[in-house]
A = this chain, B = another copy of it.
Amino acid sequence: MQVNDVVAYIQAGRDRFVADLKEWLTIPSISADPAHAGDVRRSAGWLADYLRGQGFPTVEIWETPGLPAVYAEWPAEDPDAPAVVVYGHHDVQPVEPLDEWDTAPFEPVEDGDRLIGRGTSDDKGQIFFHMLALRAGLAASGRNAPPVTIKLLVEGEEESGSAHFAELLRTHRDRLDCDAVVISDTTMWDADVPSMCTGMRGLAVAEVTLRGPSVDLHSGSFGGAVPNPLHAMAELLAALHDADGRVTLPGFYDDVVPLTDEERELFARLPFDEDDWLRSAGGSRVAYGEKGYTTLERIWARPTAEINGMWGGHTGPGAKTIVPRDAHAKVSFRLAAGQDPRKVQMAFEAWVAEHTPPGVEAEVRAAGGVRPCFSPIDSAGVKAARRAMERAFGTQVLFTREGGSGPEADLADILEAPLVFVAVGLNGDRIHAPNEKVEIPLLLKGAEAAAYLWEEFATALR
Protein backbone atom coordinates (compact mmCIF):
# COMPACT_ATOMS: atom_id res chain seq x y z
CA MET A 1 0.00 0.00 0.00
CA GLN A 2 1.53 3.28 -1.09
CA VAL A 3 1.11 6.48 0.84
CA ASN A 4 0.51 8.28 -2.43
CA ASP A 5 -2.36 6.00 -3.30
CA VAL A 6 -4.05 6.41 0.05
CA VAL A 7 -3.67 10.18 -0.04
CA ALA A 8 -4.88 10.36 -3.60
CA TYR A 9 -7.93 8.25 -2.87
CA ILE A 10 -8.82 10.35 0.16
CA GLN A 11 -8.35 13.63 -1.70
CA ALA A 12 -10.47 12.35 -4.55
CA GLY A 13 -13.16 11.24 -2.11
CA ARG A 14 -13.23 14.46 -0.10
CA ASP A 15 -16.35 16.06 -1.58
CA ARG A 16 -18.38 12.88 -1.53
CA PHE A 17 -17.20 12.25 2.07
CA VAL A 18 -18.28 15.72 3.20
CA ALA A 19 -21.59 15.51 1.36
CA ASP A 20 -22.43 12.15 2.95
CA LEU A 21 -21.39 13.34 6.41
CA LYS A 22 -23.55 16.45 6.05
CA GLU A 23 -26.54 14.27 5.26
CA TRP A 24 -25.99 12.32 8.52
CA LEU A 25 -25.46 15.54 10.47
CA THR A 26 -28.93 16.81 9.55
CA ILE A 27 -30.46 14.19 11.84
CA PRO A 28 -30.79 15.73 15.34
CA SER A 29 -29.84 12.60 17.28
CA ILE A 30 -29.92 14.20 20.75
CA SER A 31 -30.00 11.23 23.10
CA ALA A 32 -30.57 13.24 26.29
CA ASP A 33 -33.89 14.57 25.00
CA PRO A 34 -36.68 11.96 24.90
CA ALA A 35 -38.37 14.04 22.20
CA HIS A 36 -35.46 13.17 19.91
CA ALA A 37 -35.50 9.41 20.54
CA GLY A 38 -36.94 8.91 17.06
CA ASP A 39 -34.12 10.96 15.58
CA VAL A 40 -31.51 8.84 17.35
CA ARG A 41 -33.15 5.76 15.83
CA ARG A 42 -33.23 7.45 12.43
CA SER A 43 -29.52 8.24 12.84
CA ALA A 44 -28.76 4.59 13.58
CA GLY A 45 -30.77 3.54 10.53
CA TRP A 46 -29.04 6.07 8.31
CA LEU A 47 -25.62 4.87 9.45
CA ALA A 48 -26.53 1.21 8.98
CA ASP A 49 -27.66 1.89 5.42
CA TYR A 50 -24.53 3.87 4.75
CA LEU A 51 -22.27 1.11 6.08
CA ARG A 52 -24.03 -1.44 3.90
CA GLY A 53 -23.43 0.88 0.96
CA GLN A 54 -19.75 1.05 1.87
CA GLY A 55 -19.53 -2.70 1.56
CA PHE A 56 -19.58 -3.93 5.15
CA PRO A 57 -20.64 -7.57 4.92
CA THR A 58 -22.37 -7.42 8.30
CA VAL A 59 -24.38 -4.46 9.55
CA GLU A 60 -26.79 -4.70 12.48
CA ILE A 61 -28.79 -2.39 14.70
CA TRP A 62 -28.21 -3.44 18.29
CA GLU A 63 -31.14 -2.51 20.49
CA THR A 64 -30.78 -1.59 24.16
CA PRO A 65 -33.45 -0.75 26.76
CA GLY A 66 -32.70 2.82 25.64
CA LEU A 67 -31.43 3.87 22.24
CA PRO A 68 -29.79 1.66 19.63
CA ALA A 69 -26.17 1.19 18.66
CA VAL A 70 -24.94 0.24 15.21
CA TYR A 71 -22.62 -2.68 14.72
CA ALA A 72 -20.78 -3.45 11.50
CA GLU A 73 -18.14 -6.03 10.81
CA TRP A 74 -15.70 -6.43 7.94
CA PRO A 75 -13.55 -9.52 8.41
CA ALA A 76 -9.96 -9.69 7.28
CA GLU A 77 -9.15 -12.26 4.58
CA ASP A 78 -6.68 -13.94 6.90
CA PRO A 79 -8.66 -15.73 9.63
CA ASP A 80 -5.67 -15.30 11.98
CA ALA A 81 -5.48 -11.57 11.46
CA PRO A 82 -6.05 -9.42 14.54
CA ALA A 83 -9.53 -8.00 15.21
CA VAL A 84 -10.10 -4.40 16.18
CA VAL A 85 -13.19 -2.81 17.71
CA VAL A 86 -13.61 0.79 16.57
CA TYR A 87 -15.72 2.71 19.05
CA GLY A 88 -17.64 5.93 18.53
CA HIS A 89 -21.14 7.29 19.00
CA HIS A 90 -23.84 8.61 16.71
CA ASP A 91 -25.82 10.55 19.29
CA VAL A 92 -25.06 14.22 19.93
CA GLN A 93 -25.29 16.83 22.68
CA PRO A 94 -28.30 19.14 23.05
CA VAL A 95 -27.95 22.46 21.22
CA GLU A 96 -29.12 24.97 23.81
CA PRO A 97 -28.57 27.91 23.98
CA LEU A 98 -29.84 28.05 20.42
CA ASP A 99 -29.46 31.81 20.06
CA GLU A 100 -25.71 31.50 20.43
CA TRP A 101 -25.41 29.48 17.24
CA ASP A 102 -24.38 31.43 14.15
CA THR A 103 -25.86 28.74 11.90
CA ALA A 104 -28.62 26.19 12.41
CA PRO A 105 -27.04 23.31 14.38
CA PHE A 106 -28.55 20.62 12.16
CA GLU A 107 -28.00 22.38 8.85
CA PRO A 108 -24.27 21.78 8.52
CA VAL A 109 -22.39 24.52 6.73
CA GLU A 110 -18.96 24.50 5.09
CA ASP A 111 -16.89 27.59 5.80
CA GLY A 112 -13.67 27.12 3.91
CA ASP A 113 -12.02 24.08 5.48
CA ARG A 114 -14.43 24.03 8.36
CA LEU A 115 -17.60 22.09 8.72
CA ILE A 116 -19.93 23.67 11.26
CA GLY A 117 -22.81 21.92 13.01
CA ARG A 118 -23.73 19.71 15.94
CA GLY A 119 -21.88 16.40 15.79
CA THR A 120 -19.25 17.48 13.24
CA SER A 121 -16.45 16.77 15.70
CA ASP A 122 -18.24 14.90 18.50
CA ASP A 123 -18.57 12.32 17.18
CA LYS A 124 -20.14 11.76 13.73
CA GLY A 125 -17.24 13.35 11.86
CA GLN A 126 -14.68 11.25 13.68
CA ILE A 127 -16.60 8.01 13.13
CA PHE A 128 -17.04 8.89 9.50
CA PHE A 129 -13.34 9.14 8.69
CA HIS A 130 -12.98 5.43 9.41
CA MET A 131 -15.20 4.58 6.44
CA LEU A 132 -13.13 6.73 4.14
CA ALA A 133 -10.00 5.11 5.61
CA LEU A 134 -11.30 1.66 4.92
CA ARG A 135 -12.18 2.42 1.30
CA ALA A 136 -8.84 4.14 0.79
CA GLY A 137 -6.93 1.22 2.29
CA LEU A 138 -8.79 -1.28 0.13
CA ALA A 139 -8.25 0.80 -2.99
CA ALA A 140 -4.55 1.34 -2.31
CA SER A 141 -3.92 -2.30 -1.47
CA GLY A 142 -6.08 -3.68 -4.24
CA ARG A 143 -7.73 -6.10 -1.84
CA ASN A 144 -11.36 -6.78 -0.99
CA ALA A 145 -10.91 -6.96 2.75
CA PRO A 146 -8.97 -4.99 5.35
CA PRO A 147 -5.73 -6.36 6.85
CA VAL A 148 -7.42 -6.66 10.26
CA THR A 149 -11.00 -7.55 11.08
CA ILE A 150 -12.86 -4.30 11.68
CA LYS A 151 -15.70 -4.35 14.23
CA LEU A 152 -17.33 -0.96 14.21
CA LEU A 153 -19.45 -0.22 17.29
CA VAL A 154 -21.28 3.10 17.24
CA GLU A 155 -23.20 3.81 20.42
CA GLY A 156 -26.41 5.88 20.65
CA GLU A 157 -26.38 6.94 24.30
CA GLU A 158 -22.89 8.30 24.96
CA GLU A 159 -24.02 11.89 25.45
CA SER A 160 -26.64 10.83 27.96
CA GLY A 161 -24.38 8.69 30.15
CA SER A 162 -24.01 5.35 28.28
CA ALA A 163 -26.53 3.85 30.69
CA HIS A 164 -26.88 0.56 28.77
CA PHE A 165 -23.47 0.36 27.18
CA ALA A 166 -21.72 -1.97 29.61
CA GLU A 167 -24.67 -4.36 29.39
CA LEU A 168 -24.54 -4.16 25.59
CA LEU A 169 -20.85 -5.07 25.67
CA ARG A 170 -21.52 -8.02 27.95
CA THR A 171 -24.40 -9.24 25.78
CA HIS A 172 -22.28 -9.19 22.64
CA ARG A 173 -19.00 -10.01 24.35
CA ASP A 174 -18.19 -12.93 22.04
CA ARG A 175 -18.81 -11.11 18.80
CA LEU A 176 -16.79 -8.14 20.06
CA ASP A 177 -13.77 -10.25 20.86
CA CYS A 178 -10.76 -8.28 19.69
CA ASP A 179 -7.08 -7.48 20.08
CA ALA A 180 -7.49 -3.74 20.52
CA VAL A 181 -10.18 -1.11 20.85
CA VAL A 182 -9.70 2.05 18.83
CA ILE A 183 -11.45 5.06 20.34
CA SER A 184 -12.16 7.97 18.03
CA ASP A 185 -13.89 10.34 20.42
CA THR A 186 -11.11 12.50 21.84
CA THR A 187 -8.91 15.36 20.70
CA MET A 188 -5.37 16.18 19.67
CA TRP A 189 -3.31 18.86 21.37
CA ASP A 190 -3.57 21.16 18.36
CA ALA A 191 -3.83 21.09 14.56
CA ASP A 192 -0.05 21.42 14.23
CA VAL A 193 0.75 19.36 17.34
CA PRO A 194 -0.74 15.96 16.59
CA SER A 195 -1.08 13.81 19.67
CA MET A 196 -2.71 10.70 21.03
CA CYS A 197 -4.54 10.27 24.28
CA THR A 198 -3.22 7.33 26.30
CA GLY A 199 -5.49 7.32 29.32
CA MET A 200 -8.47 8.76 31.11
CA ARG A 201 -8.91 9.28 34.82
CA GLY A 202 -11.61 7.35 36.58
CA LEU A 203 -13.96 8.53 39.28
CA ALA A 204 -15.12 7.52 42.74
CA VAL A 205 -17.93 9.49 44.33
CA ALA A 206 -19.10 9.60 47.94
CA GLU A 207 -21.39 11.63 50.16
CA VAL A 208 -20.52 12.15 53.81
CA THR A 209 -23.05 12.94 56.52
CA LEU A 210 -21.96 13.82 60.05
CA ARG A 211 -24.65 13.87 62.72
CA GLY A 212 -24.48 15.49 66.12
CA PRO A 213 -27.46 16.52 68.28
CA SER A 214 -30.92 15.37 67.26
CA VAL A 215 -32.02 18.99 66.78
CA ASP A 216 -30.31 22.29 66.04
CA LEU A 217 -29.18 23.68 69.40
CA HIS A 218 -29.15 27.28 70.65
CA SER A 219 -25.50 28.26 70.50
CA GLY A 220 -25.89 30.49 73.57
CA SER A 221 -27.06 27.60 75.69
CA PHE A 222 -24.91 24.83 74.24
CA GLY A 223 -22.24 26.40 72.03
CA GLY A 224 -18.72 25.49 73.02
CA ALA A 225 -19.77 22.56 75.18
CA VAL A 226 -20.96 19.90 72.71
CA PRO A 227 -19.40 18.75 69.41
CA ASN A 228 -20.49 20.77 66.37
CA PRO A 229 -20.87 18.59 63.24
CA LEU A 230 -19.76 21.48 61.00
CA HIS A 231 -16.51 21.77 62.95
CA ALA A 232 -16.06 18.03 62.59
CA MET A 233 -16.71 18.29 58.84
CA ALA A 234 -14.24 21.14 58.41
CA GLU A 235 -11.59 19.19 60.29
CA LEU A 236 -12.33 15.99 58.41
CA LEU A 237 -12.13 17.59 54.98
CA ALA A 238 -9.13 19.73 55.87
CA ALA A 239 -7.34 16.50 56.82
CA LEU A 240 -8.00 14.95 53.41
CA HIS A 241 -4.89 16.62 51.97
CA ASP A 242 -1.49 17.14 53.49
CA ALA A 243 0.65 20.24 53.19
CA ASP A 244 2.04 18.96 49.87
CA GLY A 245 -1.41 18.68 48.35
CA ARG A 246 -1.34 14.90 48.57
CA VAL A 247 -4.43 12.90 49.48
CA THR A 248 -4.01 11.41 52.94
CA LEU A 249 -6.12 8.26 52.55
CA PRO A 250 -3.87 5.36 53.53
CA GLY A 251 -2.79 3.43 50.46
CA PHE A 252 -4.38 5.94 48.10
CA TYR A 253 -1.36 6.07 45.78
CA ASP A 254 -0.36 2.41 46.12
CA ASP A 255 -1.99 1.21 42.89
CA VAL A 256 -1.27 4.29 40.79
CA VAL A 257 0.78 3.49 37.69
CA PRO A 258 3.66 5.94 38.00
CA LEU A 259 4.43 8.31 35.16
CA THR A 260 7.50 7.15 33.27
CA ASP A 261 10.32 9.56 32.66
CA GLU A 262 9.68 9.23 28.94
CA GLU A 263 6.00 10.11 29.29
CA ARG A 264 6.81 13.11 31.50
CA GLU A 265 9.40 14.23 29.00
CA LEU A 266 6.90 13.92 26.13
CA PHE A 267 4.20 15.77 28.12
CA ALA A 268 6.73 18.52 28.71
CA ARG A 269 7.23 18.93 24.96
CA LEU A 270 3.61 20.00 24.52
CA PRO A 271 3.44 23.76 24.03
CA PHE A 272 1.47 24.36 27.22
CA ASP A 273 0.83 27.95 28.27
CA GLU A 274 -0.11 27.86 31.94
CA ASP A 275 -1.43 31.42 31.96
CA ASP A 276 -3.80 30.61 29.09
CA TRP A 277 -4.85 27.48 30.90
CA LEU A 278 -5.52 29.36 34.14
CA ARG A 279 -7.64 31.84 32.19
CA SER A 280 -9.62 28.92 30.80
CA ALA A 281 -9.99 27.63 34.38
CA GLY A 282 -12.53 30.35 35.20
CA GLY A 283 -9.79 32.90 35.64
CA SER A 284 -8.08 30.91 38.38
CA ARG A 285 -5.21 32.95 39.78
CA VAL A 286 -2.72 30.25 40.65
CA ALA A 287 -2.02 26.64 39.81
CA TYR A 288 -2.22 24.47 42.90
CA GLY A 289 -1.99 20.73 43.41
CA GLU A 290 0.14 17.78 44.33
CA LYS A 291 3.70 18.84 44.92
CA GLY A 292 6.27 17.52 42.46
CA TYR A 293 3.98 17.42 39.44
CA THR A 294 3.21 19.83 36.63
CA THR A 295 -0.30 21.02 35.90
CA LEU A 296 -0.70 18.60 32.97
CA GLU A 297 0.56 15.71 35.05
CA ARG A 298 -1.83 16.67 37.85
CA ILE A 299 -4.94 16.73 35.66
CA TRP A 300 -4.05 13.74 33.48
CA ALA A 301 -2.04 11.26 35.43
CA ARG A 302 -2.40 11.91 39.14
CA PRO A 303 -5.38 11.06 41.34
CA THR A 304 -7.12 13.81 43.28
CA ALA A 305 -9.76 14.36 45.92
CA GLU A 306 -12.18 17.22 45.47
CA ILE A 307 -14.96 18.53 47.69
CA ASN A 308 -17.73 19.14 45.18
CA GLY A 309 -20.28 20.40 47.68
CA MET A 310 -20.68 21.02 51.38
CA TRP A 311 -23.61 22.17 53.45
CA GLY A 312 -25.10 22.23 56.89
CA GLY A 313 -26.72 24.47 59.48
CA HIS A 314 -28.18 27.85 58.62
CA THR A 315 -27.55 28.80 55.01
CA GLY A 316 -30.29 31.41 54.52
CA PRO A 317 -30.11 35.16 55.00
CA GLY A 318 -29.16 36.65 58.35
CA ALA A 319 -27.73 35.02 61.41
CA LYS A 320 -29.08 31.98 63.25
CA THR A 321 -26.86 31.17 66.18
CA ILE A 322 -27.11 27.42 66.28
CA VAL A 323 -25.04 24.34 66.77
CA PRO A 324 -26.43 22.48 63.75
CA ARG A 325 -27.61 18.91 63.94
CA ASP A 326 -25.71 17.71 60.89
CA ALA A 327 -23.22 18.47 58.17
CA HIS A 328 -22.90 17.14 54.64
CA ALA A 329 -20.30 16.95 51.94
CA LYS A 330 -20.02 15.53 48.46
CA VAL A 331 -16.55 14.30 47.69
CA SER A 332 -15.17 12.85 44.47
CA PHE A 333 -11.89 11.28 43.61
CA ARG A 334 -10.39 11.39 40.14
CA LEU A 335 -8.54 8.13 39.76
CA ALA A 336 -5.32 7.61 37.90
CA ALA A 337 -4.30 4.55 35.95
CA GLY A 338 -4.26 1.48 38.17
CA GLN A 339 -6.74 2.63 40.80
CA ASP A 340 -10.02 0.89 41.56
CA PRO A 341 -13.05 3.07 42.44
CA ARG A 342 -14.52 0.57 44.90
CA LYS A 343 -11.22 0.22 46.75
CA VAL A 344 -10.90 4.00 47.04
CA GLN A 345 -14.48 4.32 48.28
CA MET A 346 -13.84 1.69 50.93
CA ALA A 347 -10.62 3.37 52.01
CA PHE A 348 -12.51 6.65 52.28
CA GLU A 349 -15.26 5.08 54.37
CA ALA A 350 -12.71 3.61 56.76
CA TRP A 351 -10.81 6.89 56.93
CA VAL A 352 -13.95 8.91 57.69
CA ALA A 353 -14.90 6.47 60.44
CA GLU A 354 -11.43 6.79 61.93
CA HIS A 355 -11.38 10.60 61.73
CA THR A 356 -14.85 11.26 63.13
CA PRO A 357 -14.57 12.73 66.61
CA PRO A 358 -16.41 11.28 69.62
CA GLY A 359 -20.03 12.34 69.83
CA VAL A 360 -20.43 12.68 66.05
CA GLU A 361 -21.86 9.91 63.90
CA ALA A 362 -20.60 9.48 60.36
CA GLU A 363 -22.27 7.97 57.33
CA VAL A 364 -20.59 7.58 53.95
CA ARG A 365 -22.64 6.71 50.92
CA ALA A 366 -20.55 5.69 47.94
CA ALA A 367 -22.31 6.33 44.66
CA GLY A 368 -21.11 4.94 41.39
CA GLY A 369 -17.62 4.77 40.07
CA VAL A 370 -15.74 4.85 36.80
CA ARG A 371 -12.54 2.92 36.36
CA PRO A 372 -9.61 4.75 34.87
CA CYS A 373 -8.25 3.52 31.57
CA PHE A 374 -4.70 3.62 30.36
CA SER A 375 -2.46 2.33 27.62
CA PRO A 376 1.28 2.57 28.21
CA ILE A 377 3.08 4.50 25.50
CA ASP A 378 5.39 1.57 24.91
CA SER A 379 2.55 -0.92 24.37
CA ALA A 380 2.29 -2.52 20.94
CA GLY A 381 -1.04 -0.92 20.07
CA VAL A 382 -0.02 2.60 21.03
CA LYS A 383 3.31 2.30 19.25
CA ALA A 384 1.60 1.05 16.07
CA ALA A 385 -0.96 3.83 16.22
CA ARG A 386 1.73 6.42 16.78
CA ARG A 387 3.55 5.19 13.69
CA ALA A 388 0.32 5.42 11.70
CA MET A 389 -0.36 8.95 12.98
CA GLU A 390 3.21 10.04 12.25
CA ARG A 391 2.96 8.68 8.71
CA ALA A 392 -0.21 10.69 8.18
CA PHE A 393 0.91 13.91 9.85
CA GLY A 394 4.54 13.72 8.82
CA THR A 395 5.71 14.92 12.19
CA GLN A 396 6.32 13.67 15.71
CA VAL A 397 3.16 12.64 17.53
CA LEU A 398 3.05 13.48 21.25
CA PHE A 399 0.90 12.09 24.03
CA THR A 400 -1.87 13.48 26.21
CA ARG A 401 -4.34 12.01 28.62
CA GLU A 402 -7.80 13.12 29.69
CA GLY A 403 -8.88 14.14 33.17
CA GLY A 404 -12.29 12.50 32.99
CA SER A 405 -13.82 9.66 31.06
CA GLY A 406 -16.95 8.10 29.66
CA PRO A 407 -17.49 4.41 28.88
CA GLU A 408 -13.90 3.78 27.80
CA ALA A 409 -12.92 1.72 30.83
CA ASP A 410 -15.87 -0.60 30.19
CA LEU A 411 -14.55 -1.29 26.71
CA ALA A 412 -11.11 -2.14 28.07
CA ASP A 413 -12.38 -4.18 31.00
CA ILE A 414 -15.25 -6.10 29.41
CA LEU A 415 -13.53 -6.73 26.09
CA GLU A 416 -10.21 -7.31 27.86
CA ALA A 417 -8.34 -5.47 25.18
CA PRO A 418 -6.00 -2.47 25.17
CA LEU A 419 -7.39 0.91 24.20
CA VAL A 420 -5.83 2.97 21.45
CA PHE A 421 -7.03 6.54 21.01
CA VAL A 422 -6.88 7.78 17.43
CA ALA A 423 -8.76 11.00 17.03
CA VAL A 424 -8.37 14.33 15.29
CA GLY A 425 -10.77 16.60 17.17
CA LEU A 426 -9.41 19.81 18.65
CA ASN A 427 -10.01 21.46 22.00
CA GLY A 428 -11.19 24.42 19.99
CA ASP A 429 -13.93 22.42 18.24
CA ARG A 430 -16.50 23.69 20.77
CA ILE A 431 -17.92 20.24 21.37
CA HIS A 432 -20.99 20.36 23.66
CA ALA A 433 -21.20 24.11 22.91
CA PRO A 434 -22.78 26.34 20.28
CA ASN A 435 -21.05 26.50 16.86
CA GLU A 436 -19.43 23.10 17.10
CA LYS A 437 -17.10 22.60 14.13
CA VAL A 438 -14.50 20.28 12.73
CA GLU A 439 -11.50 20.92 10.51
CA ILE A 440 -12.13 18.93 7.31
CA PRO A 441 -8.39 18.55 6.58
CA LEU A 442 -7.96 16.94 10.00
CA LEU A 443 -10.78 14.48 9.30
CA LEU A 444 -8.95 13.56 6.11
CA LYS A 445 -5.71 13.17 8.08
CA GLY A 446 -7.64 10.96 10.47
CA ALA A 447 -8.77 8.83 7.54
CA GLU A 448 -5.22 8.58 6.35
CA ALA A 449 -3.93 7.61 9.80
CA ALA A 450 -6.67 4.98 10.17
CA ALA A 451 -5.81 3.50 6.78
CA TYR A 452 -2.20 3.04 7.91
CA LEU A 453 -3.36 1.90 11.33
CA TRP A 454 -4.99 -1.29 10.03
CA GLU A 455 -1.80 -2.07 8.19
CA GLU A 456 0.33 -1.39 11.27
CA PHE A 457 -2.00 -3.39 13.51
CA ALA A 458 -1.94 -6.35 11.14
CA THR A 459 1.66 -6.99 12.16
CA ALA A 460 1.93 -5.28 15.54
CA LEU A 461 -1.03 -7.05 17.19
CA ARG A 462 -0.44 -10.48 15.77
Q: Which residues of A contact B (CB under 8 A)?
A: 201, 203, 205, 212-228, 230-231, 233-241, 245, 278, 281-290, 295, 298-299, 302-315, 318-325, 327-330, 332, 334, 357-359, 367-368, 402-405
The chain B residue sitting closest to A302, CB to CB, is B224
Find A332's partner among B219, B234, B299, B307 (CB 8 Å cutoff).
B219
**Ordered nearest first, which 4 A-B pairs have the shortest CB separation?**
A220-B404, A213-B282, A224-B304, A309-B313
In the complex, A414→B237 CA distance in Å? 45
Once the chains bind, are B290 and A306 in contact (CB under 8 Å)? no
Pick the residue among B201, B225, B237, B309 that contacts A231 (CB under 8 A). Answer: B237
B403-A221 in contact (CB<8A): yes
- Bound-complex Cα distance A287 to B359 (A): 8
Copies of this subunit: 2
- A235 partner residues in chain B, CB cutoff 8 A: 234, 238
A309 touches B230 (CB 8 A): yes
CB distance from A119 to the nearest CB of B (A): 21
Q: Is the CB of A281 within 8 A of B226?
A: yes
B307 touches A234 (CB 8 A): yes
Smallest CB–CB gap between A288 and chain B, Å?
Answer: 5
Contacts A213-B282, A220-B403, A334-B224; A313 near B310 (Cβ below 8 A): yes
Contact B332 A278 (CB under 8 A): no
* Nearest B-chain residue to A286, judged by Cβ: B359
CB closest residue in chain B, given A288: B227
A310 adjacent to B327 (CB under 8 Å): yes
Q: Inside 8 A of A282's CB, which chain B residues have their CB?
A: 212-217, 325
B312 touches A310 (CB 8 A): yes
Question: How far apart are the CA atoms of A283 and B216 in the complex, in Å?
Answer: 11
Across the interface, A213 reaches (CB within 8 A) one of B236, B245, B283, B329, namely B283
- Give the distance to chain B from A170, nearest Cβ to Cβ, in Å: 24
Name the B residues within 8 Å of A304 (CB-CB).
219, 223-224
Q: Please, how many angstroms separate the alpha-carbon atoms of A213 and B280 in the complex? A: 10
CA distance A103 to B429 in the complex (A): 73
Given contacts A224-B304, A238-B238, list 13 more A-B pairs with CB under 8 A: A217-B281, A220-B299, A223-B403, A224-B290, A227-B285, A228-B306, A230-B309, A231-B238, A234-B236, A288-B358, A309-B315, A310-B313, A321-B404
Q: A308 contacts B321, CB within 8 Å?
A: yes
Asked if A330 contacts B314 (CB within 8 A), the reply is yes
Do residues A319 and B367 form an inter-chain contact, with CB atoms below 8 A? yes
- Chain B residues closer than 8 Å to A311, beta-carbon distance: 310-312, 315
Q: Which of A201, A235, A236 counts the most B-chain CB atoms under 10 A from its CB?
A: A235
Tell me, in angstroms, the Cα distance from A368 to B318 when the chains sit together. Answer: 10
Q: Which residue of B lies closest to A226 (CB)?
A: B284
